[in-house]
Each structure stands twice: as structure tokens, then as C-alpha cells.
């Protein structure tokens, strides 16, 4: 299979899906009303709620959902062959992820911009709200801790990214000032901002910032320093300031950066069009878990991810200017992320065949490059290995039309770190909402304040990152993140399904993905629980059992509520919630 044919067919498929299935969902299932007053207008406070043009909000939404997930997941899953990864990313994004993201955004728009967990009290019951908010809290806790740790590791791996990533903060602050304080149109200032940012990329390539070399810090001290800086100046600052001051403009800049990176990769695929060197299928991978059900858990972002429903109903719904913008932002954002995952798959199954350095300095090419890098499950188990395959494959594609490899590596490194940063920013802000909602529900006044809730989110994330004293505590909990994340996707689809059932709408479009995700998540969770028991990993065993019990609870709740909804509809013709 040629990489140009593969990527071309998938991208055309996404465009067709948006204009057919996506628009069908908007007209017939969710029945969007362009005249409806959205929470951004009805509850406008110019801090969290503010009407935003859909092009700008698309940038914020997309960069929030597209962190490292659509890169790391596919880069791992292709070890089972490129065909399973391609099929799940393509069909999963169209029929699962797109519906999930779109639906969460729509029902939040119709419920005062409340989070998917909080509005579960209205759609299902109060028990489910508490359950949902606790699961969301746990997931966000993991995300903030792990991604802050990941950024620290990436700054160590790619010191060329330090200057451009940190310079994004003042650039974004000034862009937000021009748009919202001076009333400037967003297009040209954002273009200038992106140009300035790429100037800093060039500067960073020549002046890398390595704390160990500059200040003589140990590897652990350097890591702790970066994590503290990320949590204070990225997470806390972006969450505390009005959304249009830093979070939104930086995400808008990063959306431009993403488009540049994707265009560079597409040009590379068109110019080099390397053949796919990975096997179509490989189900006998040394040390790997079974492809069923784990491919549906490992590839989350890019196909379907529970975190997306948290973003859709957490920050995006509070800024959406009109209901009919939700199709472009929610469904379109998911398909754009799937496009990114498509390019990631091409980079790691074809791009690395153009040249992949080995540990001894030797260069592998063709199928040998893929087979060397993906020799076993353990070979792709580390973060550095996962990202190296994508960065190296991407750099090969970009270098094919004359851009120096060092500059290509710098561009892709900044791209990866920037997107990890936007995920931390949005997750911290949403965590603050969750803490406020839980505190309000149980009348716990100390955590009802904006700053206190933000501080609580940041401190707890830092403690999780270093809970075992090694600086890698959060990564030890990472194996559960995929399962919890996909469980959250199933629960979000449950809420959306019951919402549609109450409105007498065909629930097959959300119900089938819901059942599939809950079943696959439960299957994967049982497998993990067995593995944790055999290895005497009591911490992960306890968490796994607890999450599995919550899943069973959700299945019972869904059966009871849905039976009651349909019973009420039969008893009272025409009744709807």
C-alpha cells in the first residue's frame, strides 16, 4: 500500500462523512436550532462564558482534545499491523467519536453549559451525577499530573522546544488583548503571532535550553523544576485568567501551528509517497495483550475519547455562539483529530522506513526500520520510543522536499510539546469546574472559590506526579488511564442516549456505540485486573476493581432508567422530557 493512496482515501472519507452523516445527525437526531440562545450569551460573564466565533472556538476545542493521545495511541497500536489501526481510527471517529463529541456539546448547550457529569443529574439521576463527576475528577487528576510530567520529559528530550513553547504565553496574551480589548479582527493578528512563534522555533533550534547543562541540575531536579513551572505558569495561570486572555488565544495559535504541521506532513507524503513498510496485520506480538479489546482502549483520541466529552461540555459549550456552530466544532473537530491520527499512522508505518537510527548509530530503512523499532511490545512501551517513531518519521517526510532535518525535528518537537501544554491548560480549568460542582453539590464551601479550586487541582496533580518519590509516580498509573477514559466515553454516550430517548429520538446512533464501548472497556478492565492480581500490584488492582464496579453500576442504572423512560412514553402518548 502506498502512503499517499492510504492517507488520501481516508481524508476524502472524512470530508464525505462530515457532509453526509454529520449533517444528518445535526438535522434529524440533534435537531439544531440556529435561533436558540446559547449559554455564552445568556450567562455571559466575560470570564468563562463569552460568545466566540466558531473559527476561533474550533481552534481552542481542537487543541484541547488533540494532545498527545492521537499521537501516542496510534504509534503503539500499529504494532498489531496498520490495517486494524486504520479501520478503528476511520470508522471509530465517524460513527463513535464524532457522535460522542457532538452530542456532549449539544446537550450541554441546552443545559446552561453545564458539564456532562453535572447534567447527568437531570438526564439520569443524582447518583449518576456523583459517580460521573468522581470519574471525571479521577481522569483529569491523571491527565494533569501525567501530561505535566510528560512535558517535563519532553523538555529534557527536546531542549530546542523550550524557548518557542514558553514564548507562546506572551504572544497569546498580546493576541487576546488585540482581539478582545482593541477589537481587532482575529485573522491577521493570529497570522503574525504564528510567524513570530516560528521565529522563536528557529531561535530555539540554535539555543536549546538544557537545565542540566546550564545549572548543573540532576535529571530529577530538572524534571521537578519543569513540572513546577508547567503547573504554575501553564496550568494555574491559564485556568485562573479569563478564558479569552490566554487559554483561547494560545489554543488558536496552536490550531494554526497544527495546520502548518499537518500541511508539512501532507506535502511530505505527496512528494516522497513512501510505501507502507509495516505488516498489514501482526497478531502474534511478543509480550503484547490481545488486540481484542485493547486496540479500542489504546487508540482513544483519534477514534473516541471520554476526555472529549469533558472538553465539549466543560469549556467549549460556555463559548459556543450558536447551536448550529456545534456541528463544525464538535463533529468536525473529531474528524480533524482523526486526520491527525491518520498522518501519525502514515509517519510510523511508512515514514520511518525512509531511515530510523538504531541505538548503536546505525540507520535502518524499509521494513527493517519498522521491525527493529517494533520488535516487541516492550520495545514500544516507553514514552520516548512512542514519540521518537512519530518525530523521526515526520522529519523524514518533511526533509524529503528540502527542509533541513534539524529544523524539521524542531518544528515537530514544538508541535508535540505545545499540544501537551494545551491539554494541561484545559484539563486544569475543567478540573476547577468539577471541584466547584462537587463542592456546591455537597455544600463544601472551602472549595467553592475559583482560585482555591484551581490551587487544589494543581497541588493534587503535583502530589500524584511524585507520590512514589521517583518523579514518575503518575506514569505508573497510566495503564489505567486508557480504560477509565474509554469508560467515560461510554458513560457520556449513556447520558446522550437517555437524553435522546426522553425526546423520542432514535437512540441507535448513540446507543450502539455506548454498548460497544462499555463492553470493550469492561473486557479490558477484567484483563487488567487479572494481570494486576498475578503481579501483586495491589494499588492498580484496587483502582481497577473500583472502576469495574462503577461500570457495572452504570449498566444497571442505564437499564432501569431507559426501561422507565420507554414505559412512561407508552403510558402517556406524546409525553417527552
Selection from 330, 230, 240 nearest residue 48 by Cα: 240
Closest CA to 500 of 94, 18, 100: 100
Q: Which three cell numbers stand for residue 202?
A: 528557529
Checking if the pLDDT of 575 tops 50, the result is no
What are φ and ψ of residue 320, in 5° steps? -65, 130
Predicted pLDDT of residue 572: 53
In this prediction, residue 111 carries a pLDDT of 92
Distance, CA of 355 to chain centre: 29
pLDDT at 108: 95
d(CA 445, CA 464): 24
> Is 64 in contact with 311 (CB distance < 8 Å)?
yes
C-alpha cell at position 302? 483519534
How do the domains of the chain map onto residue ranges? 3-101+124-571
H-helix or E-strand spanning residue 364: strand 363-364
How far is residue 320's CA from residue 58's CA, in Å, rounded to a whole number? 9
Name the more confident of 64 and 107: 107
pLDDT in tens, 331-351: 999 999 999 999 999 999 999
CA–CA separation, 394 and 405 (whole Å): 10
Question: How far apart are the C-alpha atoms of 533 and 244, rounded to whole Å?
Answer: 47
Any alpha helices (H) in 230-326, and if so which ranges? Answer: 237-240, 247-272, 291-298, 306-314, 325-326
Enumerate residues 6+ apart whose C-beta is below 8 A from 65.
Answer: 101, 301, 305, 307, 308, 311, 333, 334, 337
Taking the C-alpha atoms of residue 257 and residue 59, their distance in angstroms, rounded to an integer, is 10
Q: How far apart are CA 185 and CA 417, in angstroms?
A: 28
Read off the pLDDT of residues 173-219 as tens digits, 9 standing for 90 and up: 999 889 888 888 877 888 899 899 999 988 998 899 998 888 888 88
Quick one: fold of 3-101+124-571? Answer: Amino acid/polyamine transporter I (1.20.1740)
| Least confident range of 80-94, 323-337, 349-363, 546-560 | 546-560
- How many other C-beta atoms lie within 10 A of the C-beta of residue 545? 14
Q: Which has more pLDDT, 333 or 391? A: 333
pLDDT of residue 478: 64
Q: What is the pTM of this model?
A: 0.87
Residue 501 predicted with pLDDT over 70: yes
Question: How far apart (Å, rounded) are the C-alpha atoms in residues 247 and 244?
Answer: 6
Residue written as cell 500499529?
78
- The 10 Å Cβ neighbour count of residue 210 is 14
Q: How many whole angstroms separate alpha carbon 395 and alpha carbon 168?
A: 23
**The three-state (H, E, C) secondary structure of 144-199, written as one string:** HHHHHHHHHHHHHHCHHHHHHHHHHHHHHHHHHHHHHHCCCCCHHHHHHHHHHHHH
What is the percent of the chain with per-residue pLDDT over 70, rounded to a whole number? 95
DSSP letter (8 states) at residue 363: E
First to last CA, the chain: 51
Q: Cell match 511524585: residue?
A: 466
Beta-bridge mates of residue 364: 356
Query: 275 forms bridges with which residues in the sheet?
Result: 2
Q: Which positions ≥6 away from 1 have C-beta within 8 Å? A: 82, 275, 276, 280
What pLDDT sits at residue 139?
A: 82
Amino acid at each position: 500500500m502506498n502512503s499517499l493512496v492510504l492517507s488520501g482515501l481516508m481524508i476524502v472519507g472524512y470530508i464525505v462523512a462530515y457532509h453526509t452523516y454529520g449533517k444528518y445527525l445535526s438535522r434529524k437526531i440533534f435537531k439544531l436550532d440556529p435561533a436558540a440562545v446559547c449559554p455564552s450569551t445568556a450567562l455571559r460573564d466575560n470570564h468563562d462564558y463569552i460568545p466566540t466565533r466558531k473559527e476561533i472556538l474550533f481552534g481552542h476545542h481542537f487543541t484541547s482534545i488533540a494532545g498527545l493521545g492521537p499521537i501516542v495511541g496510534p504509534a503503539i497500536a500499529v504494532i498489531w499491523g496498520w490495517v486494524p489501526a486504520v479501520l478503528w481510527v476511520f470508522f471509530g471517529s465517524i460513527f463513535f467519536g464524532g457522535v460522542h463529541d457532538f452530542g456532549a456539546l449539544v446537550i450541554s448547550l441546552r443545559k446552561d453549559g453545564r458539564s456532562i457529569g453535572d447534567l447527568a443529574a437531570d438526564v439520569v439521576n443524582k447518583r449518576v451525577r456523583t459517580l460521573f463527576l468522581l470519574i471525571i475528577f479521577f481522569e483529569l487528576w491523571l491527565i494533569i499530573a501525567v501530561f505535566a510530567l510528560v512535558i517535563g520529559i519532553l523538555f529534557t528530550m527536546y531542549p530546542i522546544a523550550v524557548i518557542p513553547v514558553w514564548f507562546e504565553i506572551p504572544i497569546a496574551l498580546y493576541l487576546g488583548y488585540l482581539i478582545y480589548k482593541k477589537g481587532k479582527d482575529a485573522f491577521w493578528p493570529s497570522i503574525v503571532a504564528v510567524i513570530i512563534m516560528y521565529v522563536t522555533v528557529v531561535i530555539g533550534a540554535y539555543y536549546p535550553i538544557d537545565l542540566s547543562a546550564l545549572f548543573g541540575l540532576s535529571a530529577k531536579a530538572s524534571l521537578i523544576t519543569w513540572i513546577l513551572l508547567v503547573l504554575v505558569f501553564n496550568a494555574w495561570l491559564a485556568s485562573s485568567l479569563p478564558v479569552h486572555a490566554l487559554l483561547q488565544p494560545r489554543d488558536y495559535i496552536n490550531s494554526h501551528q497544527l495546520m502548518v504541521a499537518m500541511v508539512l506532513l501532507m506535502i511530505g507524503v505527496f512528494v516522497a509517497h513512501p510505501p507502507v513498510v509495516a505488516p498489514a496485520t501482526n497478531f502474534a506480538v511478543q509480550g503484547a495483550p490481545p488486540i481484542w479489546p485493547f486496540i479500542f482502549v489504546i487508540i482513544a483520541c483519534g477514534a473516541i475519547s471520554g476526555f472529549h466529552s469533558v472538553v465539549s461540555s466543560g469549556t467549549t459549550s460556555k463559548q459556543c455562539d450558536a447551536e448550529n456552530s456545534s456541528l463544525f466544532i464538535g463533529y468536525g473537530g473529531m474528524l480533524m483529530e482523526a486526520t491527525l491520527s491518520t498522518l501519525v499512522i502514515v509517519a510510523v508505518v511508512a515514514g520511518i522506513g525512509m531511515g530510523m537510527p538504531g541505538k548503536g548509530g546505525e540507520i535502518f530503512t524499509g521494513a527493517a526500520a519498522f521491525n527493529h523499532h517494533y520488535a516487541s511490545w516492550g520495545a514500544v512501551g516507553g514514552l520516548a520510543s512512542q514519540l521518537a517513531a512519530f518525530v523521526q518519521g515526520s522529519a523524514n517526510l518533511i526533509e524529503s522536499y528540502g527542509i533541513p532535518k534539524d529544523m524539521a525535528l524542531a518544528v515537530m518537537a514544538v508541535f508535540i510539546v505545545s499540544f501537551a501544554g494545551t491539554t494541561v491548560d484545559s484539563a486544569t480549568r475543567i478540573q476547577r469546574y468539577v471541584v466547584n460542582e462537587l463542592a456546591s453539590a455537597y455544600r463544601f464551601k472551602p472549595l467553592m472559590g475559583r482560585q482555591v479550586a484551581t490551587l487544589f487541582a494543581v497541588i493534587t496533580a503535583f502530589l500524584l506526579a511524585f507520590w512514589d518519590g521517583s518523579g514518575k509516580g503518575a506514569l505508573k498509573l497510566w495503564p489505567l488511564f486508557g480504560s477509565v477514559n474509554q469508560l467515560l466515553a461510554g458513560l457520556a454516550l449513556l447520558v446522550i442516549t437517555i437524553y435522546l430517548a426522553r425526546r423520542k429520538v432514535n437512540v441507535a446512533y448513540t446507543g450502539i456505540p455506548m454498548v460497544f464501548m462499555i463492553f470493550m472497556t469492561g473486557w479490558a478492565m477484567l484483563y487488567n485486573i487479572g494481570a494486576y492480581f498475578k503481579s501483586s500490584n495491589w494499588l492498580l488492582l484496587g483502582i481497577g476493581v473500583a472502576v469495574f464496579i462503577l461500570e457495572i453500576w452504570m449498566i444497571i442504572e442505564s437499564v432501569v432508567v431507559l426501561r422507565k423512560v420507554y414505559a412512561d412514553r407508552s403510558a402517556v402518548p406524546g409525553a417527552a422530557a
